C-alpha cells in the first residue's frame, strides 16, 4: 500500500518544456535544451521510466515548416537530449478539428499506447494550459512548469505546478501518494491519429 508508485511513463511537451520555444522553428541549429532537461531525462532513464514527447507542430499545417525540417529539428532534440521511447506529434492546426492537437488528449493517449501503459499511469509535463488540459482529458497526471509565456490563469488552474524539470523528477520519482488521474476516458481508445 505504501509502495512507491513509479509512473508508467513521463510525456514531455517539446517547445518551452524540453527545449527553448522558437516558434515554428525548422532550423536544428536553433535547438537549445531547457535548463535541467538533460539531467532530468537522465534520471528518469536510469530509473527505467519511459520518456516520450507529445508536441503540437501546427507550423506544418500552416506551411511555415516542412515535415522534413520538423524531423531534422526532432533529430537534433534527440542528439542533445538522448533518445525518446516515443514521439507523438500533431501536425494539424485548430481549424482541422483533429483529435490529437492539445488540449485534445490524442497525443497523450497515443504515446501511452505505443509505450503499452495506461494514460492514467502517465505524467504529462508542459509549460501551458493546453498541456494540462490534454493530461486531464486523458486521465493522466499533469505537471506544469511555467515559463515567462505561461499565463497566470494557467498556473492557477493547474492541478500541480513545479519550479523546473529537476523539481518535476523529484516529484515523479518520490511521490508515493501522487494523485492519479480521476477522469477515465473510455471513448479515447476509439480515436485515431494521422501522425504520431
Ligand atoms: Mg510548450
Ligand atoms: Zn492533430
CA distances from residue 91 to 102, 132, 196 in whole angstroms, order as listed: 11, 19, 9
Question: Residue with C-alpha cell 507523438?
Answer: 88
Ligand 2 mean position, distance from CA 178 (Å):
29
Q: What is the rounded average pLDDT for all residues in the chain? A: 90
Could you please report the per-residue DSSP string of the chain?
--S----SEEEE-SBTTTB---TT---GGG--BPTTHHHHHHHHHHTT--EEEEEE-HHHHHTSS-HHHHHHHHHHHHHHH---SEEEEE---GGG--SSSTTSSHHHHHHHHHHTS-GGGEEEEESSHHHHHHHHHHTPEEEE---TTS-HHHHHH-S-B-SSHHHHHHHHHH-TTPPPP----GGGGG---S--
pLDDT at site 175: 64
Entry pTM: 0.87
pLDDT at residue 180 tops 70: no
Ligand 1 mean position, distance from CA 14 (Å):
6
pLDDT at site 4: 58
Q: To 10 degrees, what angle do helices 67-81 and 37-46 make?
A: 70
Ligand 1 mean position, distance from CA 11 (Å):
12
Ligand 2 mean position, distance from CA 134 (Å):
12
Ligand 2 mean position, distance from CA 71 (Å):
16
pLDDT digits (tens, 9 = 90+) for 37-81: 999 999 999 999 999 999 999 999 999 999 999 999 999 999 999
List the beta bridge partners of residue 55: 89
Which of the pair, 163 or 3, is modelled with greater confidence? 163
Percentage of residues in the chain having pLDDT higher than 90: 85
Nearest to 55 by CA among 43, 65, 45, 46: 65
Ligand 2 mean position, distance from CA 48 (Å):
29
pLDDT digits (tens, 9 = 90+) for 101-115: 999 999 999 999 999
Ligand 1 mean position, distance from CA 190 (Å):
26
Taking the CA of 57 as reference, the closest ligand is 2
pLDDT average, residue stretch 153-181: 85
Ligand 2 mean position, distance from CA 126 (Å):
17
Q: Kindly indicate the confidence band of residue 6, based on its pLDDT and cuts at 50, 70 and 90.
A: confident
Question: Residue with C-alpha cell 518544456?
Answer: 17
Amino acid at each position: 500500500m505504501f509502495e512507491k508508485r513509479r509512473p508508467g511513463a513521463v510525456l514531455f511537451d517539446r517547445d518551452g518544456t524540453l527545449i527553448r520555444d522558437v516558434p515554428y522553428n525548422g532550423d536544428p541549429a536553433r535547438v537549445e535544451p531547457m535548463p535541467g532537461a538533460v539531467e532530468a531525462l537522465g534520471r528518469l532513464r536510469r530509473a527505467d521510466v519511459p520518456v516520450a514527447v507529445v508536441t503540437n507542430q501546427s507550423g506544418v499545417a500552416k506551411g511555415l515548416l516542412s515535415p522534413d525540417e520538423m524531423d531534422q529539428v526532432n533529430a537534433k532534440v534527440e542528439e542533445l537530449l538522448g533518445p525518446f521511447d516515443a514521439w507523438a506529434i500533431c501536425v494539424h492546426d485548430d481549424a482541422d478539428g483533429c483529435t490529437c492537437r492539445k488540449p485534445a488528449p490524442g497525443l497523450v493517449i497515443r504515446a501511452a499506447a505505443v509505450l503499452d501503459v495506461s494514460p492514467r499511469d502517465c505524467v504529462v509535463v508542459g509549460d501551458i494550459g493546453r498541456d494540462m488540459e490534454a493530461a486531464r482529458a486523458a486521465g493522466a497526471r499533469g505537471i506544469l512548469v511555467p515559463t515567462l509565456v505561461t499565463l497566470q490563469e494557467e498556473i492557477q488552474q493547474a492541478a500541480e505546478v513545479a519550479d523546473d524539470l529537476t523539481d518535476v523528477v523529484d516529484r515523479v520519482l518520490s511521490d508515493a501518494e501522487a494523485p492519479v488521474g480521476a477522469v477515465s476516458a473510455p471513448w479515447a481508445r476509439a480515436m485515431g491519429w494521422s501522425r504520431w
